[in-house]
Amino acid sequence: MFLYFDTDKSGWCVDSSDVMFDVVVVGAGPIGLVLSNYLGKFGVKTLLVEKNSSTVSEPRAVSIDDESLRAIQGINLAETVIGSLMPDYGSCYQSPTGSVFAKVSPNTREYGYPRRNGVHQDVLEKQLKDGLEQYSNVETWFNHQLTSFSEVEDGVELSLQSADGQVKSVKCRYLCASDGASSFIRKTLNVVMEGDTYGENWLIIDIENTKDTFRDTRVFCDPSRPGISLPGPKGTRRFEFMLLKGETNEEVLAEENVRKLLRDHGPDEHAVIRRKTVYTFHARVARDWKHGRIALLGDAAHLTPPFAGQGMNSGVRDSHNYAWKLAQVALGRLGPKILDTYPVERKPHAQSLVDMAVKMGHVMMPLSKPTAFFTRLFFRALAIYPPAQSYITQMKYKPKPRFNEGFFVPDGHKLRNTIVGRMFIQPMVESSQAPTQKQLLDNFLSDGFTLLSYSTTPETLLKRVNGKFVDTLKVDSVCITPKSVLLSAEDNPRSQLRDINGDIEKTLKAYGECVLLLRPDRYVAAVFTPESVERVNREVDTLVEATW
Ligand SMILES: Cc1cc2nc3c(=O)[nH]c(=O)nc-3n(C[C@H](O)[C@H](O)[C@H](O)COP(=O)(O)OP(=O)(O)OC[C@H]3O[C@@H](n4cnc5c(N)ncnc54)[C@H](O)[C@@H]3O)c2cc1C
């Protein structure tokens, strides 16, 4: 039912048409946009609501990681997004004299993409918004603000006010709050944000046409003025400087001060400034991420200091995790209890990234000269021991995409070594249908659940994976052979893949030949080995039944 203000009649009118959606997403920031793209792809009837007239125009996030790019690959936008990135850069941690005491330069492509990439959030949001145009099942209402909502027995009723004063009532089965740091939905639900207020103020300066040709992030670990300089796409550069005790926003934003900071930190004193502003960063996580039919995602659920460049990336993981669960419920394949696994899986991981950012802040913002000296000494000592050096350079300190609890069947391996509950790697593979073209694994996977059979004769074990779940979840299957197997398009009824670099063989060393049940978000839900296949068939069936 719509209530709207009719200017001709000068009064409020009621449009009695019922507007019912499976899902309403509030907030068209990067998190709501990724979520809506996924819901569009999965065929879920969705409404995306945004109070502003367009996506953001000012730069915010400047770093996107490999996991987010894999999520974006899943909505067919990887090529578009990668085309406007500054891919694959590292970090150099510098002492006040400019000497480099620690380097981060990850060269892994574990999930298919470089681990750190420069991005413009405003460009990314526009690309994600354009991506929605391909889905007739997603409506996008900009200039509409959520003003009230209430949960009823079979859904959530919402009141939306448009910029011209019309009030519209809509109803949905599930409401997603991706409405940002000051989330109206979170506040209305009285959900507490836990953790330190932190509250560091940082001056952000975005410039164009940088003269600094250095490709990595420079981290100025200087107690007298901690700061960062990050390269961005198309000759842009971001500077971030911590405000010192007693400094006011007006003082640091003054033109003279900004130019001096640029002069002291590279060759960009006279650069064109696109934006300068002061931000306060927080390290806080919402206590409850789900309230009945309502879930919090992105900044509405967690706020992280910028040192790890993970605020948006963590939020993209939320969308990637929750979208397929909503879709499975909307399609009637899984019961609504699957939605309860969203906070169980995502909250501890998001918390671990906030904790990592806080720790990185201690390195970047040493409180005194002696602390700065000992921090540098510590990192220089680590560099002598190769495993410790690789821990830093390869970013092994970054929490892995894995869950301790959630929608998967534990396989008895120790938490550190198990493959289940983890995002599966994304290596390059070769297909029997096009042996000369090497492609990323996900390009051969469907949008839903997939059985990935790895063996010299992958069809054999695959036939024994025959639990009820195969039909219930409409599971697709893909066969992949070790590197040493000669693929033949004629002999195989379907496309077979080959593990051309031996990455899968290495990852599955502890299992040998096996079939993996991959979730739509590419996490491993179960492993079937020749010895365990009957038992795991039963256990996956039980897992699926338990969602009802
Ligand atoms: C200076 C800066 C640098 C950063 N750098 C990085 C980085 O390098 N890497 C990284 O990963 N992250 C970074 N971040 C964090 C990143 O920008 C945020 O985590 C990200 O924008 C969160 O996305 P979101 O969609 O959750 O929220 P938002 O982007 O805030 O979007 C929320 C949307 O909801 C809308 N909305 C709010 N209330 C309503 C309502 N009642 N009705 C309708 N619409 C509503 C808002 O208008 C807004 O468009 C940075 C942030 C800042 C400020």
Q: Are residues 134 and 27 in the same domain?
A: yes
Ligand 1 binding pocket includes 161 (Cβ within 6 Å): no
CA 175 to centroid of ligand 1, rounded, Å: 18
Q: Pick the last residue of a domain from 358, 392, 419.
A: 358
> Do 308 and 447 lie in a common domain?
no
Residue 228 resides in a domain: no
Does residue 423 fall inside a structural domain?
no
Q: Quick check: CB of 427 below 6 Å from ligand 1?
A: no
Give the chain's end-to-end CA distance (angstroms, integer): 31
Q: Which two tokens stand for residue 242?
A: 């911590």
DSSP string of 127-163, one letter each residue: HHHHHGGG-TTEEEE-SEEEEEEEEETTEEEEEEEET
Same domain as 46, residue 148: yes
Q: Which of 299, 322, 354, 398 to mutate to test the pocket of ligand 1 (most atoms within 8 A of CB)?
A: 299
Query: Which domain covers residue 473, as residue numbers?
Result: 428-545
In a domain, 378, yes or no: no
Check residue 7 and give its pLDDT. Answer: 47
Residue 437 sits in the same domain as residue 347: no
At 378 the pLDDT is 65
Please check whether residues 127 and 27 belong to one and the same domain: yes
* Inside any domain, residue 365: no
* Ligand 1 atom closest to the CA of 65, numbered from 1: 11
| Same structural domain, 334 and 437 | no
SS3 486: coil
**Among 353, 332, 495, CA closest to 429:** 495
Q: How far does CA 393 lie from the centroid of its chain?
A: 22
Ligand 1 centroid distance, CA of 497 (Å): 39
| Tally of structural domains, the chain | 2
At position 165, the amino acid (one-letter code) is G
Residue 298's CATH number: 3.50.50.60
Specify whether 46 is located in the same domain as 182: yes
pLDDT score at 476: 96
Which CATH number is 480's domain given?
3.40.30.10
Pairing label, strands 46-49, 138-141: parallel
Is-contact 104 393, C-beta < 8 A?
Answer: yes
Whole-angstrom distance, CA of residue 139 vs CA of residue 248: 44
The predicted pLDDT at position 386 comes to 66
pLDDT in tens, the chain (548 residues): 545 454 444 555 444 345 899 999 999 999 999 999 999 999 999 999 999 999 998 878 999 999 999 999 999 999 999 999 999 998 888 888 888 888 888 888 999 999 999 999 999 999 999 999 999 999 999 999 999 999 999 999 999 999 999 999 999 999 999 999 999 999 999 999 998 766 678 999 999 999 999 999 998 988 889 899 999 999 999 999 999 989 999 999 999 999 999 999 999 999 999 999 999 888 999 999 999 999 999 999 999 987 777 899 999 999 999 999 999 999 999 999 999 999 999 999 999 999 888 887 777 776 677 777 767 666 676 666 667 666 666 667 788 889 999 999 999 898 888 999 999 999 999 988 777 789 999 999 999 999 999 999 988 999 999 999 999 999 999 999 999 888 765 655 566 899 999 999 999 999 999 999 999 999 999 999 999 999 999 999 999 999 99
Report the C-alpha gap between 502 and 497 in whole angstroms. Answer: 12
Which of 303, 327, 358 terminates a domain? The answer is 358
314 Cα to the center of ligand 1, angstroms: 12
Tell me the β-bridge partners of 200.
281
Q: Structure tokens of 355?
A: 């904790």
The answer to whether residues 147 and 179 touch, using CB atoms and an 8 Å cutoff, is no
Residue 232 lies inside a defined structural domain of this protein:
no
Mutation test of ligand 1: which of 35, 54, 69, 121 has the most ligand atoms closer than 8 Å to its C-beta?
Answer: 121
pLDDT of residue 4: 47
Q: How much is the pLDDT for 17?
A: 42
- Strands 496-498, 428-431: pairing is antiparallel
Output the pLDDT for position 16.
39
Q: Of 329, 358, 387, at which residue does a domain stop?
A: 358
Q: Which residues contact 2 (CB under 8 A, 6 or more apart)?
A: 14, 15, 16, 17, 19, 166, 167, 168, 169
User: Has this prediction a pTM greater than 0.75?
Assistant: yes
CA 46 to ligand 1 center in whole angstroms: 20
- CB under 8 Å to 274, separation ≥6 — which residues? 59, 206, 207, 208, 236
What is the rounded distance in angstroms from the CA atom of residue 27 to the CA atom of residue 300? 10
Beta bridge partners of 517: 451, 526
If asked whether residues 437 and 336 sit together in one domain, one would say no
Q: Give the per-residue pLDDT at 432.
A: 81
| 130 and 12 inside one domain | yes
539 assigned to some structural domain: yes
Are residue 43 and residue 178 in the same domain, yes or no?
Answer: yes
Q: Look at residue 492 in the predicted model and tell me its pLDDT.
A: 58
Residues 142 and 60 in one domain: yes
Amino acid at 13: C
pLDDT of residue 102: 83
Tell whether ligand 1 has an atom less than 6 A from the beta carbon of residue 31: yes
**pLDDT for position 10:** 57
Residue 100 lies in a domain: no
Strand partners, 275: 206
Separation CA 340–CA 285 (nearest Å) = 17
Q: Do residues 80 and 167 both lie within one domain?
A: yes
**Does residue 449 belong to any structural domain of this protein?**
yes
CA 366 to centroid of ligand 1, rounded, Å:
28
For residue 60, the CA-to-ligand 1 centroid distance in Å is: 8
- 36 CB under 6 A from ligand 1? no
Rounded to the nearest angstrom, the distance between the alpha carbon of 32 and the centre of ligand 1 is 10
What angle do helix axes 369-382 and 341-364 make, rounded to 10 degrees? 110
